[in-house]
Structure 1
Amino acid sequence: MALHSIISSLQSRLPQDLQGQIQASVSSSTGTLDLDDDVKRWVVIGLGLHNVLTPALRIFVCRIVTKMYTSLVASDHINTQTSHNYLRTYLPTKTKLNYEAINNNKTLYGGQTWKYDRCVKNPFDLSKLFLPTHMAQYIAFDSTCDSSALLAIIINIDQFPLVVQEDANEVRTSVRNCWAHCNFLQWTPTKFAASFQLLESFIKKMGVNATEENRILGDIHKWKTDGMNFINISMLGAELVGEIQTATQALTKCTQEDTIETDSNFHQLQKQLIKIETKFEEFKTNTGKWLNEIGTVCFNFSFL
């Protein structure tokens, strides 16, 4: 049973004076979550990006890039290339391919490009050829491949529909990068709502099957709804805070992996998430104290 329901049920069975004591305890409690509303909106946007959009993009990108890889193996034998005979440019977009980003070439050979291993052994290595080396640190389309890399893959590879590329660019600029830069003040109610609307539009344009689309959109809607509740959180919303904290802990852990975040604000992002983790712990401590106070009132009542 939710804490709110428990307290409501409890109060209905207590005398008026004890109900007043409980209400006074609620009103005077220090057990509130000490976060500004714009910070809360920032947290929720980060969770929507990390928990919903990024996993969906990994599946979407893997499917498109795998199809492209199969085609290039057949046409250009990219899986058996040599240091002298290899695809230098992706002709449809005239993109110069970045072989420094695969097979540990940068670490092993540095600027000695003639020594590079040019074999493209799998689809995720193919995607790295279209990215700057510092963004191509993932080892598969898995948890090591973050939203920054996934959006860049979509934007840089022509196999993705143009409307999807355009939305990916807008999501990267207006949502993901703004979030990663930790500028809390810009997360107004208007930007919060517009960001979720953009994420929903982006998902709809990806062209996944109806069942999967509905599931993803449902998850996005859940985070948006929970986010609004989170912004208006009170003592009686402790369960929701716990859910948000669990998800935020996963996000914090994700950013602590050196291979995950690659932009220049990586350490600032880590610092802010750790600060917010501290606020959650303070809230839990204060909530525990408040519940003990309520328990004492109820215990004393049982001996009346």
Structure 2
Amino acid sequence: MNAQAAGSPLTRIITPGLQGQDDQNKVPRITGPPGYLNDEKKRWLIVGICLHSVISPLLRNFVNPIISKLYDSLVSSDSVDTQGYNGYMKKYPATNEHFLIYKSINNNMNVAKKMIRHKWVNDYQKYDYKVTSHVDLSKLFLQPHMVHYSGIDESCDTSALLGMVINISTFSTTVRTDAKKMRVDIRNPWAHCDFREWTRRKYTDSFKLMSQLVKDLDLSNEEEKRILSQLNTWATNGLIFLSGTPLGLEEVCEIRRQTRVLSEYVQSCSTENYNQNIKVQTELKYLENDLQETWERIRNLESKTEEQDEKI
């Protein structure tokens, strides 16, 4: 299936060729502060940027038409858009594996809270079982804490997207297996924010797994090459970032910009673990500040170099 990745996640991609552009008249380029921005945090940051800016937009565009088609099919075959308590779909008929979670739609969450508050005994007749959109259909396959999105768009995060792929059998077995592995090996460890996990091996394996998912999505050749090129650029230049090789203004600017975008996104999201989310926000803010300071130092040095060149 062809899928068009949304947006432009990398407006200024770091390129290896930029590393050799200094000449002897330039002030030597510098990297960020070595104290706080250690290698483990750098690896964690680069992988997080790729999850948010490359993988999530790709998955949104991949899953959206599939779930939309599934919804139209279920409206036709099972009238899920008009169903009520006496005849609602309890499990997805294609697999009969998972009970569908109606608490996640139609304000049923508040109805469930009232049951607890008033000590009603599982009075599920009060739920609204009408599934009126493919977005609501997608929420039936996810835990309630994961469904704070309003569409399969920027409000829908990586965790929810991977959950859809894993739980809906309409997606191929290969893609579902990739999604399970990505959730266990990359997304969840990233959200837990334990930097000790982010070894060289984990960094390399993360990019291999993200690349494998891209290859298994059955994209057009052009689209697959474009996404793989983005991942390869981040992986390669992430290693340059990790090596301590001096970085220039544009390279630091792009990493800083993507860190800010990721930080703002995490701050706007509701997640399954509030304390965990706060930790991720805090770490991203520290890294953003470090990169801001580095960018300002490089800009000032390059400005002084330009002044010297003009005098010469």
**Structure-2 residue corresponding to 1:168:** 179
**Partner SS state of residue 202, structure 1:** helix
Among candidates 190, 194, 200, match of residue 189 of structure 1: 200
**Structure-2 residue corresponding to 1:56:** 58
- What's the C-alpha RMSD, in Å, of the aligned pairs? 2.4
Distance change in 2, residues 1:4/1:87 (3 Å): closer
Among candidates 247, 257, 270, match of residue 268 of structure 2: 257
Task: Tell me how far apart the structure 1 counterparts of residues 213 and 225 of structure 2 sit (CA, whole Å).
Answer: 13
Does structure 2 conserve the Cα–Cα contact (< 8 Å) formed by 1:154 and 1:160?
A: yes
**Structure-2 residue corresponding to 1:15:** none
Give the CA deviation at 1:235. 4.5
The answer on 1:227 being equivalent to 2:209 is no
Count of paired positions? 284
Task: Tell me how far apart the structure 2 counterparts of residues 214 and 7 of structure 1 sit (CA, whole Å).
Answer: 31
Identity %, equivalent residues: 35
**Partner SS state of residue 256, structure 1:** helix
* Structure 1: 5+ residue stretches without partners: 12-21
Distance change in 2, residues 1:176/1:94 (3 Å): closer
Does structure 2 conserve the Cα–Cα contact (< 8 Å) formed by 1:101 and 1:129?
A: yes
Structure 1's consecutive aligned runs of 4 or more residues displaced over 6 angstroms after TM superposition are 2-6
Among candidates 78, 81, 85, match of residue 80 of structure 2: 78
The answer on 1:118 being equivalent to 2:121 is no
The answer on 1:89 being equivalent to 2:96 is no
Give the CA deviation at 1:252. 0.7
Larger radius of gyration: 1
The 5 A counterparts of 1:132-281 are: 132-259=143-270, 261-263=271-273, 265-281=276-292
Matching residue's letter, 1:202: L
Length-normalised TM-score, structure 2: 0.83
* Structure 2: 5+ residue stretches without partners: 1-16, 116-122
Give the CA deviation at 1:89. 2.2
Does structure 2 conserve the Cα–Cα contact (< 8 Å) formed by 1:42 and 1:179?
A: yes
Distance change in 2, residues 1:235/1:45 (3 Å): same
Task: Tell me how far apart the structure 2 counterparts of residues 32 and 48 of structure 1 sit (CA, whole Å).
Answer: 20
Task: Tell me how far apart the structure 1 counterparts of residues 227 and 303 of structure 2 sit (CA, whole Å).
Answer: 40
Task: Tell me how far apart the structure 1 counterparts of residues 139 and 224 of structure 2 sit (CA, whole Å).
Answer: 27
Distance change in 2, residues 1:210/1:126 (3 Å): same
Deviations 1:162-187 (A, max 9, x none): 11111111100111111111122222
Richer in helix (by share): 1
Give the CA deviation at 1:38. 1.8
**Structure-2 residue corresponding to 1:16:** none
Task: Tell me how far apart the structure 1 counterparts of residues 264 and 68 of structure 2 sit (CA, whole Å).
Answer: 29
Distance change in 2, residues 1:241/1:233 (3 Å): farther
Deviations 1:116-136 (A, max 9, x none): 111111112111111111111
**Structure-2 residue corresponding to 1:106:** 109
Length-normalised TM-score, structure 1: 0.85
Does structure 2 conserve the Cα–Cα contact (< 8 Å) formed by 1:3 and 1:239?
A: no
Task: Tell me how far apart the structure 2 counterparts of residues 297 and 137 of structure 1 sit (CA, whole Å).
Answer: 54
